[in-house]
Amino acid sequence: MSSVPDVVLNNGVSMPQLGYGVFRVPDDDTERAVLAALNAGYRSIDTASLYGNETGVGRALSASGLARDHFFVTTKVWNDDQGYNSTLRSFDASLGRLGLDHVDLYLIHWPKPSLDRYVETWRALEKLYADRRVRAIGVSNFQPDHLRRLRDETDIVPAVNQIELHPDLQQEQLRRFHAEHGVVTEAWSPLGQGLALRHPVVAELAHRHGRTPAQVVLRWHLQLGNVAIPKSTTPSRIRENIGLFDFALAEVDMAALAALESGTRLGPDPDERETRRRPGFSSAGGRWVS
Ligand code: NAD
């Protein structure tokens, strides 16, 4: 079984560098999918209250028989629940659905600047951390300005910023900012929702290394130092996506992948995510967005 290395967060907590994401997995299918991931060797699961599948994640963790300190769970507070008291309530509800007494990492899902509540939401996360109900706290989809505001107005530096990151959107500036401030970069849509696998450069590197395109892209993330949370519900792909620890990309391969940056976002721009409704099927492009 593959052994996934850990990254050490800014408070000393260890987090697996590769995890399994469950966005768009229906709750009824989640137990099976997460059990397949745990059997393949994943020990970190990324969910969110928005995903509606925390119950399935909790069932899988319970059915796995794994000791609590042998897995790492991330969940997130949704935009509608931002605010101090509502975040505390939303956290309790997430914990109940997961069937856990603490989560390993709790994130603010989006900054949603028009709401202007992410600072008080962060103070609620600081309270949960002080009460030892979460082992680490972080953010998702925060831009440098949002991170600077937290730095200026609150006490704890986010341990993680989970952002859209794949070969078409490499987020070099934000990664540099994270490195300077001790924030771990976690890549969502690490495979570009499958689109990154179609690049001829990726295909060529896969051929040269005797690997699959997904393994090349995920290996690129690991060598950049990113945490990555690919999603698949197909057991063979779940196994494929963790088979990354017996090969390495050369510097020249990393440079070839760096050249794929096109600035193409698949999800919303964090500064412009201003819709008030819960997202569902987006009419723009017909894709789900979270
Ligand atoms: P992803 O880049 O992980 O792509 C998933 C898709 O790639 C799959 O649906 C499948 O079509 C394809 N795929 C996966 N493995 C493959 C393989 N080995 N070979 C060929 N195709 C393969 O995209 P994602 O699901 O959007 O993101 C992953 C996780 O990131 C989510 O499950 C969720 O946990 C998280 N996420 C977070 C946010 C956020 O706002 N914080 C937003 C989106 C996703």
d(CA 81, CA 102): 19
The string of pLDDT tens digits covering residues 36-66 is 999 999 999 999 999 999 999 999 999 999 9
User: By CB neighbour count within 10 A (0-12 exposed, 13-18 middle, 19+ buried), where does 287 fall?
Assistant: exposed
DSSP structural state of residue 194: G
* Residues involved in catalysis: 51
Q: Is the CB of 21 under 6 A from ligand 1?
A: yes
Query: Is 124 in a helix, a strand, or coil?
Result: helix
Write out the DSSP string of 240-259.
Answer: HTT--TT----HHHHHHHHT
Q: Tell me, in angstroms, the distance from the centre of ligand 1 to residue 92's CA.
A: 27
What is the 190 CA–ligand 1 centroid distance (Å)? 6
Closest CA to 48 of 90, 87, 76, 20: 76
Q: What is the pLDDT of residue 108?
A: 98
- Answer yes or no: is the C-beta of 193 below 6 A from any ligand 1 atom: yes
Residue nearest to atom 11 of ligand 1 (CA): 194
Q: Which residues touch 2 (CB under 8 Å, ≥6 apart)?
A: 40, 41, 242, 243, 244, 245
Residue 208 Cα to ligand 1 middle (Å): 25
Tell whether ligand 1 has an atom less than 6 A from the beta carbon of residue 197.
Answer: yes
Residues 6-26 pLDDT 10s: 999 999 999 999 999 999 999
- pLDDT attached to residue 277: 39
Q: What is the pLDDT of residue 2?
A: 53
Helix (H, G, I), strand (E, B) or coil at 128: helix
Is residue 194 in contact with ligand 1, taking CB distance under 6 Å?
yes
* Three-class DSSP category at 174: helix
3-state helix, strand, coil in the chain (%, to 5): 45, 15, 40
Cβ neighbours, 10 Å, residue 68: 11
Q: Which residues pair with 16 in a beta bridge?
A: 6
What values do phi and psi take at 220, rounded to 5? -60, -45
Task: Name the CATH topology of 6-260.
Answer: TIM Barrel (3.20.20)
Q: What's the confidence (pLDDT) of residue 272?
A: 81
Sequential pLDDT tens for the chain (290 residues): 458 999 999 999 999 999 999 999 999 999 999 999 999 999 999 999 999 999 999 999 999 999 999 999 999 999 999 999 999 999 999 999 999 999 999 999 999 999 999 999 999 999 999 999 999 999 999 999 999 999 999 999 999 999 999 999 999 999 999 999 999 999 999 999 999 999 999 999 999 999 999 999 999 999 999 999 999 999 999 999 999 999 999 999 999 999 999 999 999 999 985 543 344 333 232 232 33
Angle between helices 118-130 and 144-153 (to 10 degrees): 60
CB distance 187 to 166 below 8 Å: yes
**Residue ranges per domain, the chain?**
6-260
